[in-house]
Amino acid sequence: MSSPRIGNQRPPGGGGRLGFLGSVTLRFLFGSRGFSEGKSRRGSSFRRVRGGVIGITLSLIPLVVVFVVANGMISGITARYLETGSYHIQLVSRGRAGAETSRVQEEKALEYTQVIGAYREVQGLGLLAGGKGHNGVQIRGIDPQLYEKDRGFRRYMEVNAGEFNLEEPRSIVLGQNVANTLGLEPGDRVRVITARSDGSRGLLPKVSAFTVTGIVSSGYRELDALWVFMSSEDAMSVIPPGEAREIIGIKVMDPFSLDPQAGNLSFIDLPDSSTADRPGETPFIYRFRQGLDTDWRLYTWFDLERSQYMSFITTRNLLLFIMVLIVLVAAVNISSAMIMLVLEKQEEIAVLKAMGMPNSQLMAVFVAAGGITGTIGTVLGLSLGSLAAYNVNGIVRILEYIVNAAGYLKTRLISPRDVYIPFELFNPDFYLSSIPVNLHPADVLIMAGVSIMLSVVMSLLPARRAVRLDPISLLHRH
């Protein structure tokens, strides 16, 4: 005698159990004919859970965008600090090292396989006069070939006018903000004024004439707002003895591997410092430090930029925490949708229980329904969020255009004499002019996993409610 069927499905049990449970789950979600009555309910069930799908979708879009924008800003700003400012490692001279001593230390640094470049730099402060007035500047005396030799420096240091040429004596390259402030262009003559102490007579000024050969920008105003570049020989002649800071900037293959605490920008950051020769220091840095002459001190980029970098990371994590809370609230909608689904499917639940379906299988049906609902919302949300993230620069420009057009029109209509100040969503004084976009597949998988897990967890309460229904009373009622 053939086995009894529920609708056109075999009851649970045997090898077809998973297929049966999957069929029931899809029937509950996307509608079909009623089990006991022949009524068509196609589509009605999914309308119950549609709100949960939309909630998950809308909550994941800002999560992806915030994650990409925050990581893009942090990585972009940090990369500019490392490649154009602080280097990956700095060897700082305790006294006046000189060109020959620095050259010897550069050669020793290049013996390490991790090191890809070592460059001498002389730093100091001065006053730049010319054009529209004068401005305080940070003097950076570098290798005239640095722009050609260092790929990282060349990548992030954009030449906006002229060329990055320090080959000729008394040549100077200005940061974009300095050039704008003083109204300078390539070919202009400027004066660099420095001062030295002369015992009882106080400070004596020293004035040196230079010719502007180029204007550059790193894309981050706070970085190159005061920078002026000249050759290290010119810098040593301009900066008074005892006032110059002599360093050797070192570039390595992976700057984020220099300090276990630096980590990365992914969701999961578990740096392994167990292999370090001493706590908080990698083996490479330990060996490098041990091989240094006593006249030099070593600082990694993380030593120099720790406070700012960790401030960025903390701000990003706070934003992500808020976004995850929004996803959690959206997952609650799935719980509400599943409760409505249980109420709608009471008759079918009663039939399944009367036919002997165990409570564990019935519970699995509604948990799976919640998981499917969350998965649909997750796929849609991550897809739309990724699309928005990869086009975030265009979206920002469109938003700024709309806001500025509306603001300008309002100003002209209401206060024609007022001057409208354009709105900038990301002020270049504090942010990058263009947001780098970088979304790793592993991070997308983590977002998807969290979203689906929350959806499943929020389905447990409706599932428990379903298994507690009394089939006898429900069948009598219908």
Say what the pLDDT of residue 272 is: 46
Task: Render pLDDT for 63-84 as a digit per residue (tens, 0 to 9).
Answer: 999 888 888 888 888 888 899 9
Q: Closest Cα to residue 310, out of 253, 263, 255, 252?
A: 263
Asked if residue 458 has pLDDT above 90, the reply is no
Say what the pLDDT of residue 27 is: 76
Task: Render pLDDT for 87-113 as a digit per residue (tens, 0 to 9).
Answer: 999 999 887 777 788 888 899 999 999
* Segments making up each domain of the chain, as ranges: 14-70+315-477, 89-257
Residue 141 token pair: 């005396």
Task: Render pLDDT for 21-52 as a digit per residue (tens, 0 to 9).
Answer: 777 777 777 764 444 444 444 445 667 678 88
HSE value, Cβ hemisphere, 13 Å, CA-based, for 412 = 6
% of the chain exceeding 70 in pLDDT: 84
Asked if residue 225 has pLDDT above 70, the reply is yes
Asked if residue 54 has pLDDT above 80, the reply is yes
Give every CB contact of residue 93 below 8 A, 6+ residues apart in sequence.
Answer: 101, 102, 245, 246, 247, 295, 296
Asked if residue 378 has pLDDT above 50, the reply is yes
Say what the pLDDT of residue 200 is: 60
392-414 and 44-80 helices cross at what angle (nearest 10)? 90
> Could you give the CA distance from residue 91 to residue 120 in angstroms, rounded to a whole number?
9
CB 74 within 8 Å of CB 430: no
Question: 171 pairs with which residues across the strands?
Answer: 211
Which residue matches tokens 């020989």?
A: 233
Mean of pLDDT over the chain: 82
Per-range mean pLDDT, top range of 166-170, 239-243, 256-260: 166-170
Say what the pLDDT of residue 1 is: 40
The H or E element that residue 329 is part of is helix 301-344
Reported as a pLDDT band with limits 50, 70 and 90, residue 470 is: low
- 400 vs 193, higher pLDDT: 193
Say what the pLDDT of residue 122 is: 93
Task: Render pLDDT for 164-186 as a digit per residue (tens, 0 to 9).
Answer: 999 999 999 999 989 998 999 99
Of 90-94, 268-272, 301-305, 360-364, least confident by mean pLDDT is 268-272
CA–chain centroid gap for 416, Å, is 41
Opening angle at CA 413, ends 412 and 416, nearest 5: 45
Say what the pLDDT of residue 283 is: 86
Reported as a pLDDT band with limits 50, 70 and 90, residue 268 is: low
Average pLDDT over residues 349-372: 82
Q: Closest Cα to residue 348, out of 27, 17, 16?
A: 27
- 20 vs 378, higher pLDDT: 378
Residue 73, helix vs strand vs coil: helix
Reported as a pLDDT band with limits 50, 70 and 90, residue 338 is: confident
Say what the pLDDT of residue 201 is: 63
% of the chain exceeding 90 in pLDDT: 30
Asked if residue 260 has pLDDT above 50, the reply is yes
